[in-house]
């Protein structure tokens, strides 16, 4: 029997919005620290005590402005940031008490203006300069917004149907609904940014063309596909990002079996498993190391356990078993931890003769993403497979900048880091363009 598509309630935002009362109570709990650690812990340095104080005084528009001035994707970051690791992790009240729910307060303030379509920013005085931004994920949107506020004419190119990149397609609805990402795209358009979708940059010639038409180019390309596992039956494996995407933009098309196995143990793997679980499947995650080595945040792991997702560690898939085109199981081998490998983590080794089959009807892989393949095609200098950039996010090509996951060789990937990249690159592009163009009359 064809499995039914999941009920719509399974794919709603996990945390309800704060009520006005909840927000007021929580905001009033904030100590309004001076030189606050939460502000320092935020990669985009949102003035958190100030925005929270504004919530406590009922100045929601001012609060949202405080947030969005530092982080144009404040609505997305409020939902997807690992706040436990960042702002909330730094909250002084966390020392012997509960930290302030900074993420949810931020969401409350930003949603207040974005749900009402309030535009808080205006395009800057036109400079007559043109910037192309490739990729409409968090880095691209952030860069576009900052450049538009500085008066530059910005065109944002996106190869897919909807702009928003990761926010639109890659984050499960439980954490961020599509509408939130689209509201940020709308705010960008209100700043005068031209958003051109279904247009793809594929090679160096395309980049050269952009450079001939624009004064600068920012690349926010993201990452590549989920890598191949190189095991028999791989063609039957679903891509975790594809599953997440379907659950967001076309949940009615989602057809997962009753027993789903997810390969991997990062945050994306947990997201994919959550989709399967919410779709009603008995869901098992397999990971070749132990829970100590898994890359998912601790709170994500705990969330998964709470959702009823099961884990099997020290397990390496070696073959997808299928009969008549239908998956019936995933053959795995038992692993044990050996000496540390180059990442410093113990290297898993197969236990000879320990093969076994996990019966299932769907296999999903979420074992990371490949390095951005386009980076090579563009002829940019690379660093560990990612685009090489300097501190200002300038690439090896003049007038070309890059940010977000495609340069993320230097640190962990996250939306908020991409937003900050967009800000840094925009500032660098603005500085470079301002230097290149003398003030009117200065040449006389």
Q: Are residues 314 and 335 in contact, defined by beta-carbon separation less than 8 angstroms? A: yes
Is residue 250 close enough to count as binding another protein by CB under 8 A? no
The CA distance from 72 to 65, in Å, is 9
Is residue 20 close enough to count as binding another protein by CB under 8 A? no
The partner residues of 263 in beta bridges, in order of sequence, read 286, 365
Residue (89 or 346) nearer to another protein, CB = 89
Minimum distance of another protein from residue 301's CB (angstroms)? 22
Interface pick for another protein out of 8, 12, 32, 434 (rule CB under 8 A)? 32
Is residue 431 close enough to count as binding another protein by CB under 8 A? no
Interacting positions 94-153 with another protein (CB under 8 A): 95-96
**CA dihedral in degrees (64, 65, 69, 71; nearest 10)?**
10
Q: Sketch the per residue contact string, 39 through 78, with another protein: x for CB under 8 A, - otherwise.
A: xxxxx-x----------x----------------------
Minimum distance of another protein from residue 391's CB (angstroms)? 8
Minimum distance of another protein from residue 143's CB (angstroms)? 17
The CA distance from 409 to 221, in Å, is 14
DSSP, residue by residue, 181-235: HHHHHHHHHHTT-EEE-S----SHHHHHHHHHHSSEEEE-----PPPP---TTGG
The CA distance from 11 to 275, in Å, is 8
Minimum distance of another protein from residue 399's CB (angstroms)? 24
Burial of 436 (0-12, 13-18, 19+ CB in 10 A): exposed
Is residue 392 close enough to count as binding another protein by CB under 8 A? no
Minimum distance of another protein from residue 94's CB (angstroms)? 9
The CA distance from 393 to 395, in Å, is 6
The CA distance from 245 to 225, in Å, is 13
The bridge status of strand 259-263 relative to strand 130-134 is: unpaired
The CA distance from 371 to 384, in Å, is 9
Residue (95 or 306) nearer to another protein, CB = 95
Is residue 9 close enough to count as binding another protein by CB under 8 A? no
Minimum distance of another protein from residue 44's CB (angstroms)? 9
Pick the piece of the chain touching another protein (CB under 8 A) from 31-39, 118-126, 136-144, 168-176.
31-39
Residue (35 or 439) nearer to another protein, CB = 35
Minimum distance of another protein from residue 48's CB (angstroms)? 11
Q: Are residues 416 and 86 in contact, defined by beta-carbon separation less than 8 angstroms? A: yes
Minimum distance of another protein from residue 38's CB (angstroms)? 9
Q: With CB under 8 A, what is the number of residues at the site for another protein? A: 27
Residues that bind another protein (CB under 8 A): 24-25, 28, 31-37, 39-43, 45, 56, 86-87, 90, 92-93, 95-96, 411, 417, 420
């Amino acid at each position: 029997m064809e499995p039914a598509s999941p009920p719509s309630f399974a794919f709603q935002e996990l945390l309800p919005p704060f009520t006005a009362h909840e927000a007021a109570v929580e905001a009033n709990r904030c100590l309004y620290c001076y030189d606050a650690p939460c502000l320092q812990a935020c990669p985009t340095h949102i003035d958190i005590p100030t925005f929270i104080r504004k919530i406590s005084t009922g100045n929601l528009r001012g609060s949202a402005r405080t947030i969005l001035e530092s982080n144009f994707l404040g609505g997305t970051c409020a939902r997807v940031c690992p706040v436990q690791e960042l702002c909330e992790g730094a909250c002084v009240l966390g020392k012997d008490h509960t930290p302030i729910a900074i993420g949810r307060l931020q969401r409350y303030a930003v949603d207040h203006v974005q749900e009402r379509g309030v535009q808080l920013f205006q395009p800057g005085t036109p400079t007559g300069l043109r910037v192309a931004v490739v990729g409409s994920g968090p880095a691209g949107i952030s860069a576009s917004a900052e450049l538009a506020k500085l008066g530059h004419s910005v065109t944002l190119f996106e190869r897919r149907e909807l702009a928003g990149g990761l926010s639109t397609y890659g984050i499960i609805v439980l954490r961020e609904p599509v509408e939130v990402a689209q509201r940020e795209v709308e705010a960008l358009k209100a700043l005068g940014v031209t958003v051109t979708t279904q247009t793809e940059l594929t090679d160096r010639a395309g980049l050269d063309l952009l450079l001939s038409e624009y004064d600068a180019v920012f690349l926010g390309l993201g990452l590549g596909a989920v890598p191949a596992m190189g095991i028999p039956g791989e063609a039957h494996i679903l891509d975790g990002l594809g599953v997440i995407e379907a659950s967001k933009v076309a949940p009615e098309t989602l057809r997962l079996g009753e027993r789903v196995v997810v390969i991997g143990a990062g945050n994306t793997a947990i997201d994919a498993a959550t989709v399967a679980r919410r779709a009603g499947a008995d869901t098992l995650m397999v990971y070749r190391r132990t829970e100590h080595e898994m890359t998912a945040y601790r709170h994500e792991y705990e969330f998964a356990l709470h959702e009823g997702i099961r884990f099997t560690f020290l397990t390496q898939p070696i073959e997808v078993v299928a009969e008549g085109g239908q998956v019936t199981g995933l053959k795995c081998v038992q692993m044990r931890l050996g000496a540390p490998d180059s990442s410093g983590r113990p290297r898993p080794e197969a236990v000879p003769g320990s093969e076994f089959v996990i019966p299932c009807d769907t296999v999903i892989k979420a074992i990371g993403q490949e390095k951005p393949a386009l980076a090579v095609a563009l002829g940019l200098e690379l660093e560990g497979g990612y685009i090489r950039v300097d501190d200002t996010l300038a690439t090896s090509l003049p007038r070309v900048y890059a940010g977000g996951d495609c340069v993320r060789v230097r640190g962990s990937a996250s939306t908020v880091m991409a937003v900050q990249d967009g800000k840094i690159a925009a500032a660098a592009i603005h500085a470079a363009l301002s230097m290149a163009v003398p003030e009117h009359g200065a040449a006389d």
